[in-house]
Structure 1
């Protein structure tokens, strides 16, 4: 299966005419099936002009599901000092799912379909526990990644928002029982560990389905054990929206 990295490497080689394989440094590694609208990639090239012309030329060589939105030229010193992953100070992810009613067909590759209707009030109560002060917490229960390095699995999650929209288009839902709810979960924080957002989503959904209670969240956080949290949400509903630097 072709990866995004391979697609970018191939397009860069053909655009620059350079035979050496470009070394790409990504701000965030996304799992297979996860989308990204705000990925940051650093690479070295002998090309002098990194402008709109170069960007447009690169886009003609990228597959239709990969797009370069903008480019910034860095000096060699700036590029050496810049770590797109470690230097990131804030990230935003969004997760979309459809609950109840008929399963989505047209946009099925971009959402998670949950057959049961969800208790939104309980989901919000779970979110309130996750974002309760202090916002910096140990999220070991929501990642299979070992607590390595100085910070381990300690992350500052400053925002989790829940947005719901009733999808009552009678063209798609001729019966009341067919009406679905589109759910969007927004996450902002300084960093997110491997599969952390998907596991947070799955746990919040488990609360909405009645498999867990909102008051289970503090217990799950304190356990620092992945086995205590809920299911992991599938990748297709997740999008990396943006990455910010100070």
Structure 2
């Protein structure tokens, strides 16, 4: 048996989510189906984390324990020949047998894109949240700064979440980026792990700050209060993208000729 890692990109619009579900298309289901067709093996694909319906990924990572004799480059090409057009495998490579895409990860990076111009772009509407008013990005950054560090994020997940809600946020940043001739707001958030809806709840709260409906100084009080009702609304899924998943330096990297330079693991 060998353990093969995959780096995956997908457009989440038409999926019920990344994880397999009985009713509806999932990223995991598509990859497992393509894997079986390619290798004649029925294997479970382990993803680095779950993304909701509508959330996209540039750098999702998965692993598959397999008995196939196919080499990683052949696996990559073969899967891409079978997978639908909204999923692509950008790299496949061998990793140790104890590598687990989710449990071995030490950092996840997400980016949320917001267009705050008066008219929505039809070309961007599946990947960018449109807010038809100018947002105060300086205030948004002031609010985001409070999320960095180790905190209890109970106020920024679903109310019925079970288990520890403490996470370490490495980065929470707001910046301007240009895509297709439009100036967009990019909110980049990285942490050791995320709670359900955590990024989208943070973004929804920060948008309210940008609209002038919440003071950035309220964030520490909301974190301490652990009350979901005190935080902002949940931002829509379609503006969110999982950009990278990071692992310890001891984990092998894909060969340079099949690695994407713009996505980090």
**TM-score (norm. length: structure 2):** 0.80
After TM superposition, the structure 1 = structure 2 runs for residues 1-246 of structure 1, keeping only pairs within 5 Å, are 1-18=24-41, 21-74=42-95, 78-79=96-97, 81-131=98-148, 135-144=149-158, 146=160, 148-149=162-163, 152-165=164-177, 181-246=183-248
Going by fraction, where is helix more abundant, 1 or 2?
1
Q: Say if 1:163 and 1:184, in contact at 8 Å, map to a contact too.
A: yes
* d(CA) in 2 for partners of 1:219, 1:41: 37
In structure 2, distance between residues paired with 1:46 and 1:165: 44
SS at match of 2:216: coil
RMSD of aligned residue pairs (Cα, Å):
1.9
Shift of 1:213: 1.0
| Change in 2 beyond 3 A, CA 1:231/1:181 | farther
SS at match of 2:69: coil
Please report how far the alpha carbon of residue 100 of structure 1 lies from its aligned counterpart in structure 2 after TM superposition.
3.0
SS of residue paired to 2:81 = helix
* Alignment size in residue pairs: 225
- TM-superposed deviation, 1:146: 4.9
Q: Give me the whole-angstrom Cα distance separating, in 2, the residues matched to 1:234 and 1:7.
A: 24
Residue of structure 2 equivalent to 1:172: none
Q: Residue 164 of structure 1: CA displacement?
A: 1.7
Question: CA 1:166–1:58 in 2, change beyond 3 Å: closer, same or farther?
Answer: closer
Structure of higher RCO (CA pairs closer than 8 Å, 6+ residues apart):
1
Higher strand share: 2
Q: How has the CA–CA distance of structure 1 residues 88 and 165 changed in structure 2, closer, same or farther, with 3 Å as cutoff?
A: closer
Runs of 4+ in 1 over 3 A off after TM superposition: 145-149, 165-169
Q: Specify whether residues 139 and 168 from structure 1 end up closer, same or farther in structure 2 by C-alpha distance, changes over 3 A only.
A: same
Q: Which 5+ residue runs of structure 2 have no aligned equivalent?
A: 1-23, 249-265
Deviation (angstroms), 1:147: 5.7
- 1:167 Cα deviation from its structure 2 partner: 8.0
Say if 2:153 and 2:165, in contact at 8 Å, map to a contact too.
yes
How far apart, CA to CA, are the structure 2 residues paired with 1:145 and 1:194?
10
Residue 259 of structure 2 aligns with which residue?
Answer: none
Name the CA shift for 1:187/1:46 in 2 (closer, same or farther; >3 Å). same
Q: Which moved more, 1:39-48 or 1:184-193?
A: 39-48
Shift of 1:65: 1.1
